[in-house]
Structure 1
Amino acid sequence: MRKTKRKSKFWTLLLMIGVIVIAFKSNITLTGQSLFGKIDGDKAGSVPVSTTFDSADFISTDNLHSSNAILVRLDNQKVLLEKNSKQKVFPASLTKIMTAIVAIEKLPDLKKSIVLPNSMFRELYKADASMAGFTANERVRAIDLLYGVMLPSGGECCIGLAEHIAGSEKEFVEIMNQKAAELGMRNTHFTNTTGLHDDKHYTTVKDLSILLSYALKNNTFEKVFTASHYSTPPTNVHSGGITFDSTLFKNLENPAIDGGRILGGKTGYTNEAGLCLASLAQKDGREYILVTAGAKGNHESAQYAIEDAYTVYDKFFKHT
């Protein structure tokens, strides 16, 4: 009788130990997932000793000039850093990322010439919009307008593409909003192609990271986005063509950062939006995008959005 009771207690104790061990292991796994997420080459929750984690906990977002920021690893869409990433912001010229990718997808022939009508320029000059340098009635290839959209942030290039593709900027904006909905940009609404301020023209840096991740899958967009300068062929107005310089690279002293490199980006600014930047960087064959908005300053001040990008990439690359 005593032997039976002892055996019973023994098996009960063994069962309890087993339950405790399983619970302990489960807790470690859950903790590993919540801290580090999915680890390269391993199942979620597996924590090899030799693994270097993609964690940006060492970057204090309080030290950023930008009020909103998100850092994403491009290949797996892992969010590495966030600061008010779902808060509504005004995108300024980061709008042109959507303008460019929609135009690329809607134009079967990027070498097709487009005439820029005189009517568009009056409103752009009145709004003090940034311009690439084309003039009324100039005949320009679509691909040259795309570089004009992304590098010098040319408003006339945006309107020229929009009117050619959809008949009017208003109709083109409807396509932009349809694309935003298709991509799951739930907190985004566009009212124009240029990013000129409108209270109903808004987004989030989270939504912009979704957009940029999508656009960079397009080879033409990526080539334009990462160009530091570009020269157009001669036109009926500019016999020597026009040379564009990227607004990012003009203000970036050195794109090389701790074994990595900033590959390209789009800047933006309005009084209401502050200084904004969407950029692409690479280290060890991996690509990362950083979207920031709401930095104080203007075109004449220090470029705080670019400073933030350098700070984030520098600190992150040092720990990867």
Structure 2
Amino acid sequence: RVLAEKNGQERMYPASMTKLMTLLLACESGIAMDTPYVFDKDMLDPLIAQGASRVGFEPEEMVTFEDLLYGSILSSGGDATAALAEVVDGDEASFAKHMNRRAQDLGMFDTHFVNASGLHDDEHYSTARDIALLLEKTLENATCREILSTSVYTTSRNSVHPNGMEIRSVVELRMQDYQPEQVKFQGGKTGFTDQAGYCLASFAEQGSDTYIVVVAGGEEKDAPTQDTQKLYDLLCGASEQNPEQD
């Protein structure tokens, strides 16, 4: 049920909120968590050139499918999402087609994906309402929900990182100064490009209820987190006072 909405069906660029779909498809693939993947320089160099956010995986580094899942969300790693696309569908172009088919299945009719990470492309777009729907469906997958709620994860040990890499949730770091009072904040996915502005899709719990807030187009880095805090407190307070309020 929609409690409040402003420009929810206006087309916008989702930036790294895109990775919610990447996570969902990867978790739905049935690929074993311990499946190995080896990074190569040819895949990493273009991401570096584009200024994509990365987990920090290096050429010739062998990681697990589980490492890629957590890296794509907690670190918003473009290296992890590119690898997931390759493992699931062979290449990113095929994975993007998969993303669009799944978006249609979910009823995301105002969304079109071009890549697995959310790097800007004029034809890569969505709406706040569609992203909210995507997050809702993603949370129905137990593995996705666990990853989106995780604060810290250590990658598997390998020759490049003998002790693994400790990665922390970007969402939690952003929200640490803006904790809602009315609900228990659980997690979500940030996003930023010059064209998209600062974005945040998140979820919180109050008793047996789950609330989802999507904000996009922020001009300042803290704008989405500040607005998210205010919206959770406002919406939860309003819903308690007037359950029929939309």
For residues 158-195 of structure 1, what are the alpha-carbon distances to aligned partners after superposition, in whole Å with 9 as ceiling and x for unaligned? 01111122111111111111100111111110000110
Measured after TM superposition, the shift of residue 316 of structure 1 is: 2.3
Equivalence for 1:189: 112
Equivalence for 1:312: 231
Equivalent residues in 2 for 1:124-273 (5 A)?
124-253=47-176, 256-273=179-196
* Count of aligned pairs between the two proteins: 239
Equivalence for 1:99: 22
Equivalence for 2:244: none
For residues 73-103 of structure 1, what are the alpha-carbon distances to aligned partners after superposition, in whole Å with 9 as ceiling and x for unaligned? xxxxx00010100000000000000011101
Measured after TM superposition, the shift of residue 317 of structure 1 is: 2.8
Measured after TM superposition, the shift of residue 292 of structure 1 is: 1.1
Equivalence for 2:205: 282
Equivalence for 1:38: none
**Structure 1 segments unaligned to the other structure (5+ residues):** 1-77
Structure number with bigger Rg: 1
Equivalence for 1:63: none
Is this contact kept in 2: 1:276–1:293, CA < 8 A? yes
The amino acid of 2:142's aligned partner reads N
Equivalence for 1:40: none
Measured after TM superposition, the shift of residue 285 of structure 1 is: 2.3
Residue identity over aligned pairs, in percent, reads: 38
The amino acid of 1:142's aligned partner reads F
The amino acid of 2:137's aligned partner reads Y
> TM-score by structure 2 length?
0.94
Distance 2:65 2:32 in 1: 8
Is this contact kept in 2: 1:107–1:165, CA < 8 A? no
CA RMSD, 1 decimal: 1.2
Measured after TM superposition, the shift of residue 256 of structure 1 is: 4.8
Measured after TM superposition, the shift of residue 107 of structure 1 is: 3.4
For residues 222-257 of structure 1, what are the alpha-carbon distances to aligned partners after superposition, in whole Å with 9 as ceiling and x for unaligned? 000011111112123100101111111112225753
Is this contact kept in 1: 2:16–2:117, CA < 8 A? yes
